[in-house]
Amino acid sequence: MRIVALVPGGIGDQILFFPTLDDLKRSLPSAQIDVVIEPRSKAAYRVSKSVNEILTFDFQDRNSMADWGNLVGMIRDREYDAAIILEQSWLIGLILWLTGIPTRIGYQGKGSVFLTNSVRLKQSQYTAQMYHDLLTALGIQSTCPDLTVNIPLSDIEWAEKEQKRLDVHETGYILIYAGSSELAQSKGADNVYPVESWLQIIQDFRSKQPEMPVVVVKQAEDEFLRSIVESSSYVKITSPDDIGKLAAMIGGANLMLCTESPPMQLSVAVQTYTIALFGSTEPAKLLPKSDKFLAIKSPTDRVADISPNTVLQKVWGS
């Protein structure tokens, strides 16, 4: 059986879809499962264990009819038996119908007239569970599995060497992903936590647990990192160059402190104790219910308005 999933969205969306892919593979072990994703999200599948082939198409681009026609041809040529679509869209529903795939699965609503099997969309629940609901259209009634990733051995080995280089392999460490990259800032101030607030948190770690290293994940053109280096010699810097190495570094941490981001999903997948800062997004949609994954929701919907003291109270449990 050949199955294709059309999964628009970023890396975080892909990781949240992993439990659905994994359960699909568990239920149909002989099936070949492919995905059609945006080019920006291809890196996520370095840590997926259930996908055979990764096809790319920029769903967000201003695509011409010829571009959409190429997508139809690319999918049709592979003669899939079933397709799963995560987006409610008349156009993408029509595209699937044009491919001639006999079983077309998606959510009820826009474009569902072109589907053979549709599932009620329950947007208020945890997103991984919402995606997993689509499998009921294939007769798969199992509970949504935990989010997991498959980290390549070479990335685990890299992380072990990196921890030795940073001299943190025995003590453990607190890992900070600031979410202050150019991409995060382009989404607006709601997604960026101020440098001054991070510094206050780091200094509190320094005073309360001086033996516990703080490691900050470096991002390209990172103003936050430059400010940290100028203000504190206490922190250590790591620069994983792919998602597998980042996941391995997160897996070695005692605590992951981050904003809402794809690394937050990696932290959930490797079961690292996580405290995540949220702006306008409801945490219940992106974090599973667990004492290991704690959310701090801004009262104003702006991450910048979360006080460092609020974060530290969550860290120290007071």
| Cβ neighbours of 126 (radius 10 Å) | 20
Residue-level pLDDT at 185: 47
One domain for residues 227 and 288: yes
Assigned token pair, 165: 């280089």
One domain for residues 119 and 190: no
- pLDDT at residue 318 tops 70: no
Q: What type of residue sits at position 272?
A: T
Higher pLDDT, 66 or 317: 66
One domain for residues 6 and 129: yes
pLDDT in tens, 119-164: 999 999 999 999 999 999 999 999 999 999 999 999 999 999 999 9
One domain for residues 126 and 237: no
One domain for residues 197 and 286: yes
Average pLDDT over residues 103-124: 94
pLDDT in tens, 231-245: 667 789 999 999 999
> Position of tokens 């967000």?
60
> Is residue 143 in a domain?
no
One domain for residues 163 and 310: yes
Q: How far apart are CA 65 and CA 221, in angstroms?
A: 37
One domain for residues 102 and 237: no
Instruction: Please give the residue range of the domain that contains residue 265.
Output: 153-316
One domain for residues 52 and 133: yes
Residue-level pLDDT at 227: 75
Which residue from 249, 233, 247, 241 is spatially nearest to 165, judged by alpha carbons? 249
> Is residue 175 in a domain?
yes
- pLDDT at residue 183 tops 60: no
How many structural domains are present in the chain?
Answer: 2
> Is residue 30 in a domain?
yes
One domain for residues 174 and 291: yes
> Is residue 261 in a domain?
yes
Helix (H, G, I), strand (E, B) or coil at 34: strand
Per-chain mean pLDDT for the chain: 92
Instruction: Please report, for residues 15, 40, 225, 305, 318, the alpha-carbon distance to residue 45 in angstroms, rounded to integers and kept in the order given.
Output: 8, 11, 27, 34, 39
> Is residue 147 in a domain?
no
HEC-encoded secondary structure of 271-311? CCCEEEEECCCCHHHHCCCCCCEEEEECCCCCHHHCCHHHH
Residue-level pLDDT at 170: 78
What CATH number is associated with residue 29?
3.40.50.2000
